[in-house]
């Protein structure tokens, strides 16, 4: 077990215990050792792993595994490392048009992996000001860089109070 | 044919799509881990990074450390080793085993030379498919066959019921279900060279569809040159206590080029090869003629019948079936099972039964059924994915050329 948990000595006992509990409850997660943790550009405040997926500080999270990065009047949205890990290799992404609108907890697109399709729900409401066009050619960016190059849409939030209802990194984990 | 009902796995994963409030993988498909059957290679899979999922009542690896896409490509470049021990192998024996089996399948079993086999279909009274299977005539008094894991209970009950009736009329037939053996599939360009290291028999003389009982890696194996990928390869029935050693030996002899490959890649490979998955592309209400398997109905059988549903099937052979299985290319998101197929004017002409992204062709491929008359290659169609139409066209299968080892 210790070899699966890795040699990260900065993990606290509590984090190790939590990881162990999660491993025990879902063996498939334990087998998916997130190699993406080392690949993606993590912010310096990299924190606890959720079943070995990475969860970043500074982001808000929805129960349905989307993340939101709020910077000034723009909110960037994508799906978490945990979500992309479960989906497997993404082969197609369906995104809304720019200037369209999204609503909190409503579906705005879909992510197709080799074996399955998943809807993506918007954590907040607002106007879509930009869509990540790179995902048309390279849908795999969602797997290799779920928090950075794999971002999906940028939204102008219509109701900033919604951000307060989302989870922080600790709650998401 | 084979690989069993991957649709069951597909259902549990794509159930997420119907859940409008959640997007993540529902953990509930891990809930009944304790009830799942394990093959002889279970621990071996786990030790090699296998991601185990429930499949037809078994815990099977959907993939390993490499991605499904990489795994699928590697099979055609190097080779793959699959654990298909969940499938059910059985032997029919006795003086009348051949005429007995002929009452249940469309193949010309009597016409098979000893040591040869073929894909066939078990039919029901309505001419629909109960299951597909690779059957082999070992000798005139021994037939070896493999049926899908997801259809095991159904098939065995069906065979047993008919066997009882056949015997009550004085027929000599009995069966043995090979639960003491494990089936492994070795596929790809390296399959034959690697396997040759493990046996003294000259594999260059064993052609596609042929069968031999021989010593491989120190144990007596049933070897059939067949598979579910379109590549040259073998299915090896090995005594279960030797299964792990055989798997290890195969991987070692290939110096790591042949990789353990899971069900995810197996499904992509068979789709690229244009092969049916029972439960998706073939079901109780679909006949072998509709499924494009007329070639599997023996010539003599087409004249004589004598199998369940023969009247329906013979009529379809005469008049042509009303629907036909075809292949599709499409743009946009991959077409999936149950997506509607429309003609260019928007009229529904059919339905997709299997689809996905082809790792080797790097485009979407699918198979499904369309109305006869609309089935010609090149026909432009629209495929509805999540309510939106996307351009597509009908194409021939296999999508990737097959490489079966046949005499030149």
**Which fold is adopted by the domain B322-408?**
Elongation Factor Tu (Ef-tu); domain 3 (2.40.30)
What pLDDT, on the 0 to 100 scale, is given for residue A2? 29
Q: What is the pLDDT of residues B59-78, one digit of tens each?
A: 999 999 999 999 999 999 99
Count of C-beta atoms within a 10 Å radius of residue A157: 20
Q: Which residues of B touch A53 (CB under 8 A)?
A: none
Interface test with B, best of A32, A94, A116 (most B CBs within 10 A): A116
Average model confidence (pLDDT) across chain A: 76
What pLDDT, on the 0 to 100 scale, is given for residue A114? 86
Q: Please check whether residue A141 touches B, CB under 8 A.
A: no
DSSP state of B310: H
Mean pLDDT along residues A56-70? 92
C-beta of residue A17 within 8 angstroms of C-beta of residue A2? no
Instruction: Identify the band that residue A58 occupies on the pLDDT scale cut at 50, 70 and 90.
Output: confident
Instruction: Identify the band that residue B8 occupies on the pLDDT scale cut at 50, 70 and 90.
Output: very low
Task: Chain A: give the shortest CA distance to residue B342, in Å.
Answer: 21
- Phi, psi (degrees; rounded to nearest 5) at A148: -120, -90
Q: Scan for tokens 């689809």, then name that residue.
A: B355
Least confident of A6-15, A26-35, B169-178, B341-350: A26-35
Mean pLDDT along residues B352-358? 96
Q: Which residues of B touch A117 (CB under 8 A)?
A: 14, 17, 333, 336, 386
What pLDDT, on the 0 to 100 scale, is given for residue B32? 54
How far is the C-alpha of A135 from the C-alpha of A150, rounded, in Å? 7
Mean pLDDT along residues A37-58? 53
**pTM assigned to the model:** 0.83
Complex ipTM value: 0.72
Residue ranges of domains in chain B:
6-82+182-272, 322-408
Q: With 70 as the cut, is the pLDDT of residue B157 above it?
A: yes
H or E, element range at B14: helix B6-18
Q: What is the pLDDT of residues B22-54, one digit of tens each?
A: 333 334 444 456 689 999 999 999 999 999 999
E strand segments, A17-73: 49-50, 53-54, 60-61, 66-71
Q: Please check whether residue B26 touches A, CB under 8 A.
A: no
Average model confidence (pLDDT) across chain B: 92
Considering only residues B8 and B283, tell me which one the structure prediction assigns the higher pLDDT. Answer: B283
Least confident of A53-67, A132-146, B222-236: A53-67
Q: What is the pLDDT of residues B367-388, one digit of tens each?
A: 999 999 999 999 999 999 988 9
Q: With 60 as the cut, is the pLDDT of residue A13 above it?
A: no
Q: With 80 as the cut, is the pLDDT of residue A7 above it?
A: no
Mean pLDDT along residues B346-356? 97
Q: With 90 as the cut, is the pLDDT of residue B5 above it?
A: no
What pLDDT, on the 0 to 100 scale, is given for residue B383? 98
What pLDDT, on the 0 to 100 scale, is given for residue A51? 52
Q: With 70 as the cut, is the pLDDT of residue A38 above it?
A: no
Inter-axis angle of helices B6-18 and B263-272, nearest 10: 100
What pLDDT, on the 0 to 100 scale, is given for residue B357? 95
What pLDDT, on the 0 to 100 scale, is given for residue A25? 34
Q: What is the pLDDT of residues B162-200, one digit of tens each?
A: 999 999 999 999 999 999 999 999 999 999 999 999 999
Mean pLDDT along residues B300-320? 97
Considering only residues A97 and A3, tell me which one the structure prediction assigns the higher pLDDT. Answer: A97
Q: What is the pLDDT of residues B10-26, one digit of tens each?
A: 444 434 333 333 333 33
E strand segments, B261-347: 323-330, 340-342
Select the residue of A26, A118, A121 nearest B30 (Cβ to Cβ).
A26
Select the residue of A91, A107, A120 nearest B334 (Cβ to Cβ).
A91
Mean pLDDT along residues A4-29? 41
What pLDDT, on the 0 to 100 scale, is given for residue B395? 98
C-beta of residue B71 within 8 angstroms of C-beta of residue B264? yes
Q: With 90 as the cut, is the pLDDT of residue A143 above it?
A: yes
Q: How many CB pairs under 8 A join A and B?
A: 90
The pair of three-digit structure tokens given for residue B16, joined into one six-digit string:
């997420």
Q: With 80 as the cut, is the pLDDT of residue A102 above it?
A: yes
How far is the C-alpha of A32 from the C-alpha of A14, rounded, in Å? 21
Instruction: Identify the band that residue A28 occupies on the pLDDT scale cut at 50, 70 and 90.
Output: very low
Task: Chain A: give the shortest CA distance to residue B254, in Å.
Answer: 25
Q: Give the percent of chain A with pLDDT over 70.
A: 70
Q: Which residues of A touch B333 (CB under 8 A)?
A: 92, 94, 110, 112, 117
Q: With 90 as the cut, is the pLDDT of residue A16 above it?
A: no
Q: With 50 as the cut, is the pLDDT of residue B337 above it?
A: yes
C-beta of residue B210 within 8 angstroms of C-beta of residue B234? no
Q: Give the percent of chain B with pLDDT over 90.
A: 91
What pLDDT, on the 0 to 100 scale, is given for residue A170? 87
Q: Please check whether residue B311 touches A, CB under 8 A.
A: no
What pLDDT, on the 0 to 100 scale, is given for residue A117? 83
SS (H, E, C) B84-110: CCCCEEEEEECCCHHHHHHCCECCCCC
- Least Cα distance to A122 among A139, A144, A100, A140 occurs for A100
What pLDDT, on the 0 to 100 scale, is given for residue B262? 97
| CATH 3.30.470.20 for domain B6-82+182-272 | no
């Amino acid at each position: 077990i210790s070899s699966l948990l890795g040699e990260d000595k900065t993990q606290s006992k509590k984090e190790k215990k939590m990881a162990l509990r999660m491993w025990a409850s879902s063996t498939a997660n334990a087998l998916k050792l997130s190699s993406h943790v080392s690949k993606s550009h993590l912010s310096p405040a990299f924190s606890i792993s959720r079943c070995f997926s990475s969860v970043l500080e500074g982001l808000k999270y929805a129960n349905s595994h989307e993340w939101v990065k709020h910077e000034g009047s723009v909110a960037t949205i994508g799906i978490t490392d945990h979500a992309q890990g479960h989906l497997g290799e993404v082969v197609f992404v369906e995104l809304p048009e720019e200037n369209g609108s999204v609503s909190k907890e409503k579906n705005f697109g879909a992510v197709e992996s080799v074996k399955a399709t998943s809807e993506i729900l918007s954590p907040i409401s607002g106007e879509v000001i930009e869509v990540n066009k790179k995902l048309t050619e390279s849908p795999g960016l969602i797997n290799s860089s779920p928090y950075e190059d794999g971002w999906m849409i940028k939204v102008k939030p219509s109701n900033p109070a919604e951000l307060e209802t989302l989870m922080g990194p600790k709650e998401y984990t | 044919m084979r690989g069993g009902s991957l649709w069951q796995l597909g259902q549990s994963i794509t159930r997420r799509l119907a859940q409008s409030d959640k997007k993540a993988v529902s953990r509930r498909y891990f809930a009944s881990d304790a009830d799942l059957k394990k093959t002889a290679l279970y621990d071996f899979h786990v030790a090699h990074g296998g991601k185990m999922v429930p499949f037809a009542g078994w815990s099977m690896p959907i993939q390993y450390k490499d991605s499904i896409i990489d795994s699928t490509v590697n099979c055609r470049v190097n080779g793959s080793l699959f654990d298909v021990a969940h499938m059910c192998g059985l032997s029919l024996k006795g003086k009348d085993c051949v005429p007995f089996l002929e009452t249940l399948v469309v193949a010309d079993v009597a016409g098979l030379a000893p040591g040869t086999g073929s894909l066939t279909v078990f039919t029901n009274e309505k001419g629909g498919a109960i299951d597909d299977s690779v059957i082999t005539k070992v000798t005139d008094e021994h037939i070896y066959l493999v049926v899908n894991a997801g259809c095991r209970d159904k098939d065995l009950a069906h065979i047993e019921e008919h066997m009882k009736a056949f015997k009550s009329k004085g027929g000599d037939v009995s069966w043995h279900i090979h639960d003491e053996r494990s089936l492994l599939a070795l596929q790809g360009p390296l399959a034959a060279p690697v396997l040759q290291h493990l046996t003294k028999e000259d594999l260059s003389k064993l052609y596609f569809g042929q069968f031999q009982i021989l010593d491989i890696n120190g144990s007596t194996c049933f070897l059939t040159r067949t598979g579910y990928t379109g590549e040259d390869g073998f299915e090896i029935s090995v005594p279960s206590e030797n299964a792990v050693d055989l798997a290890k030996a195969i991987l070692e002899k290939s110096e790591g080029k042949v990789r353990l490959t899971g069900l995810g890649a197996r499904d992509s490979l068979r789709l690229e090869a244009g092969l049916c998955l029972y439960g998706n592309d073939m079901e109780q209400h679909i006949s072998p003629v509709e499924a494009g398997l007329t070639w599997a109905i023996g010539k003599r059988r087409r004249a004589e019948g004598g199998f369940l549903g023969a009247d329906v099937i013979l009529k379809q052979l005469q008049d042509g079936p009303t629907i036909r299985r075809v292949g599709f290319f499409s743009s946009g998101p991959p077409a999936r099972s149950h997506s509607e197929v429309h003609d260019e004017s928007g009229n529904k002409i059919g339905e997709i039964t299997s689809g996905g992204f082809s790792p080797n062709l790097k485009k979407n491929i699918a198979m499904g059924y369309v109305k006869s008359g609309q089935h010609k290659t090149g026909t432009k169609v629209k495929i509805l994915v999540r309510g939106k139409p996307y351009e597509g066209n009908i194409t021939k299968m296999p999508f990737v050329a097959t490489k079966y080892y046949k005499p030149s």
